[in-house]
A and B are shown apart, each in its own frame.
Chain A
Amino acid sequence: MDIQTRSLSPTAPALSLRPTVPQPRLARPHEAHGTSVDAKVLVRNLDFYYGQRQALFRVSLTVRTHSVTSFIGPSGCGKSTLLRCLNRMNDLVEGARAVGRVELDGVDIYDPAIDVTDLRKRVGMVFQKSNPFPKSIYDNVAYGPRLHGTKDKRSLDELVQHSLQGAGLWDEVKDRLMQSALGLSGGQQQRLCIARALAVQPDVILMDEPCSALDPIATGKIEELIYTLKDTYTVVIVTHNMQQAARVSDQCGFFLMGELVEFGDTKTIFTTPHDKRTEDYITGRFG
């Protein structure tokens, strides 16, 4: 499906790769109905299993449009698992199974008829370890758009520039777009990965500990970037760094042993948590 379709009028048929077969479709924000207008992602009673082992227990939360939501918690608490449920990245893990409901703009993304590639186009992801492809900077950013049908050189150029600007990398790399992306520094590589995700023009961007391998200066740049991204996108970020969660996010969820202990406004979580375990964790008494 072409990315240009995004700008179609509300009456135009929404994304559907197999038009002859009626199927649930991923509705656009303006088509959302039945839930509150600014709910982008809805998770309802989600249980998740890796084979026999249950990793998530009845998780429910709502991610608001144009906000930054952070997931915090000790290692192995299930926050990354939940993040990867949101674009069905967990499908790749053998024996993984989700029970419950995850909605994107009101449509269940675990419906068997949903096209996963279409979903992932709308829910982009940035990984813990920066993973630019062993290609040039330009080709990295243009990878997604090319796959999704943008062939025209001019619009590709524009898209690449736009995405790199959006990721705050343009000024640093504009003179060496054709050089290998592997020659960039760690922080630049991570911003390139963000630019690569932006180039597909998603609605939601998932970030899985994007700064865990970066130095403080690079981390600062990414955090600034996240702050600006929420004007256009909905961001969900998993982090180990509680200061980071406090700095960048509007909402925050605290996970412990696969349970969502507390979810709410970041300010509330960090100042007056309801749950004793949350308070213990953020004050550093365990974890």
Chain B
Amino acid sequence: MGERSTLMKDFWRGGELFVWMTASGVALSLLMVAGMLGLIMINGLGQFWPGALQETTLRTQETVIGQVVGEEVIPNSVTPDSPAGQRRFRYRVGNRDVFGSEYRWIDASDMVSSARPEDLTVVERREWGPAFGRIMVGVEGAATGSASGSSWTTVKTLVERANQLRRRIEHLEREEIGSINYRIEKARLARHALTLSGRLAPADAEKDQRLLDQMTALERDYLAKTEALERLHKEAGQEVLFLTLSTGRSVRLSLDQVLAVSRPNGMHWVEKLLAYVQNLWLFVSSEPREANTEGGIFPAIFGTVLMVFLMTLAVMPFGVMAAVYLREYATQGPLVRLVRIAVNNLAGVPSIVFGVFGLAFFVYALGGTIDQWLFPEALPNPTFGTGGILWASLTLALLTVPVVIVATEEGLSAVPRDFREGSLGLGATKFETLRHVILPCALPGILTGLILAMARAAGEVAPLMLTGVVKLAPALPLDEYLPFLHLDRKFMHLGFHIYDVGFQSPNVEAAKPMVYMTTLILILVVVLLNWAAVRLRNRLRRRFTASAV
């Protein structure tokens, strides 16, 4: 008994258990992170793979065409006949406009036969999601038989041509007509500004006339462009495709509605891989369609990154200056302690509170005043008096300023006293010491604050919803019109996009992979931003702490 109790005693004293506990803490955290990433990736990355199309005949003689996206044991189906339970499959049948819903459960017991014919086609449409069926070429009026063999190439060329047309139309709409509209609006506002005092001053009459002429010319230009646009539209609508659905019904597909066609059953895995990469690229580089449930997320990525950068520009000077004052100049006493406590508590305030403050102060008070002083001609339409990327960035800067202050203070206090004394001993003033020795040495610490602030800002959604994020922004905050960076514009954000696609979209089920994918991209953006900052910090750190040989 004595020996055993000594062993136990040694076990407790040696802290073996403690080591195990600490290690399992780390293991658990790692497992959770890996599990989360894995879940997101499995759910998100799968959607770009061109899945096989199954044509299944049911006992009711009905035929179903679709992608099998899941299977399960039917709940409460365990009976003496089938001890393992009945299985059922989940089909994505597409054609939401015809069938009403995009998904369908099919019991295994109902299936008679199932095959994967090569001529089954996936049609990506501008509206209503994908359509599955057999495709035929036609002109307005009559169908001309199933498009197999050589006619499949015809279909593909047709779609390619339609896409080129669409690109031209988009260019015309966005760039040319958009630019004309922008200039007309500018001229209109300029004219309005001239008459703002109520009466046109005689000196301004000539200017007003010039603006009027300019507007007339622009409007003539506009009419010409719209005519060209209409011609293109007509051209695009001329050719049609017919899609035979699983029900045997033939559906007319105007070519200007078709984005892409593919036959996944006949694709080699290399082709599939290429298609996968292309889909992925389209996702990150294109704009969303159909209430964000289709298309890409580029504006959201852009908005997130730009907002984080603007926030950084705002928060760094303020945070660093405040920290320098608190640490270097302020007399350390109860007041400074109180300020420190307040700053730390500020970091714990719920972010929506900052959102409300941003809305009340930045948007309404500050933005409203700016509008009255600088943009009176646009009123009652607000310019800065509504949510925008500037106000969102400033709100987030406010939210993250405590993080920067705390980190900078720590960085400053970590600078060895020897450096200060060495510099002061050479006759440097306090300011010179700060500028030439202390701040450079504290830079890694300051950058740590920046990293933490960026990570927090990129993931924040609630305050943004009040200060400038929208579901769909008509234009990026950065474009080719002066002054290029439009700080008053509303913007899209990945975090809000996730919420919107996941919970506000009309087709939640189909949007699920989009949610995971957007989440993955958000994580990626945060990781990339942090990685860049960490690299910068490490480089600086190496410079300042090259150890003595």
Q: Cβ of A24 < 8 Å from any Cβ of B?
A: no
Which of A106-114, A128-136, A229-237 is the interface stretch?
A: A128-136
Which of B267-275, B290-298, B424-432, B522-530 is the interface stretch?
A: B424-432
Residues in chain A near residue B426, CB distance under 8 A: 120-121, 124, 143-144, 147, 196-197, 200
Which of A37-45, A182-190, A252-260 is the interface stretch?
A: A182-190
List CB contacts (< 8 Å) of B436-472 with chain A.
Answer: 436-437, 440-441
Residues in chain A near residue B437, CB distance under 8 A: 133
Q: Cβ of A279 < 8 Å from any Cβ of B?
A: no
Contact A183 B549 (CB under 8 A): yes
Q: B520-540 toward A: CB 8 Å interface, digit per residue (1/0)? A: 000000000000000000000
Q: Cβ of B61 < 8 Å from any Cβ of A?
A: no
Q: What is the size, in residues, of chain B's interface with A at 8 Å between Cβ atoms?
A: 26
Query: Given known contacts A87-B425, A117-B427, is B547 in contact with A129 (CB within 8 Å)?
Result: no
Residues in chain B near residue A120, CB distance under 8 A: 424-427
Known: A89-B421, A134-B544, A186-B548. 12 other contacts (CB 8 A): A92-B421, A120-B424, A120-B425, A125-B421, A131-B419, A133-B419, A144-B428, A182-B545, A183-B546, A183-B549, A197-B425, A197-B426
Interface size grouping (class) on chain A? 20 to 34
Residues in chain B near residue A118, CB distance under 8 A: 427
Q: Which residues of B contact A (CB under 8 A)?
A: 332, 416, 418-429, 432, 436-437, 440-441, 543-549
Query: Given known contacts A134-B543, A183-B546, A189-B548, is B418 in contact with A129 (CB within 8 Å)?
Result: yes
Residue in B332, B420, B421, B548 whose beta carbon sits within 8 Å of that of A182 in the complex: B548
How distant is B100 from chain A, measured CB to nearest CB, in Å? 70
A129 to B543, CA, bound (A): 20
Q: Cβ of A169 < 8 Å from any Cβ of B?
A: no
A134 to B423, CA, bound (A): 12
Q: Which residues of A contact B (CB under 8 A)?
A: 87, 89, 92, 94, 117-121, 124-125, 127, 129, 131-134, 143-144, 147-148, 180, 182-186, 189, 193, 196-197, 200
Query: Given known contacts A129-B418, A131-B421, is B545 in contact with A147 (CB within 8 Å)?
Result: no
Contact B427 A185 (CB under 8 A): no
How distant is A60 from chain B, measured CB to nearest CB, in Å? 25
Residues in chain B near residue A182, CB distance under 8 A: 545-548
A186 to B546, CA, bound (A): 14
Contact A134 B548 (CB under 8 A): no
Residues in chain A near residue B420, CB distance under 8 A: 92
How distant is B58 from chain A, measured CB to nearest CB, in Å? 77
A280 to B142, CA, bound (A): 122
How distant is A103 from chain B, measured CB to nearest CB, in Å? 19
Residues in chain B near residue A193, CB distance under 8 A: 422
How distant is B540 from chain A, measured CB to nearest CB, in Å? 10
Query: Given known contacts A182-B548, A183-B548, A183-B549, is B422 in contact with A131 (CB within 8 Å)?
Result: yes
Contact A148 B427 (CB under 8 A): yes
A144 to B423, CA, bound (A): 8
How distant is B170 from chain A, measured CB to nearest CB, in Å? 55
Per CB-CB distance, the 9 closest pairs between chain A and chain B, nearest first, are A121-B427, A131-B418, A125-B425, A144-B426, A134-B544, A120-B427, A131-B422, A182-B546, A117-B427
How distant is A47 from chain B, measured CB to nearest CB, in Å? 23
A87 to B544, CA, bound (A): 28
Residues in chain B near residue A125, CB distance under 8 A: 421, 425
A117 to B543, CA, bound (A): 29
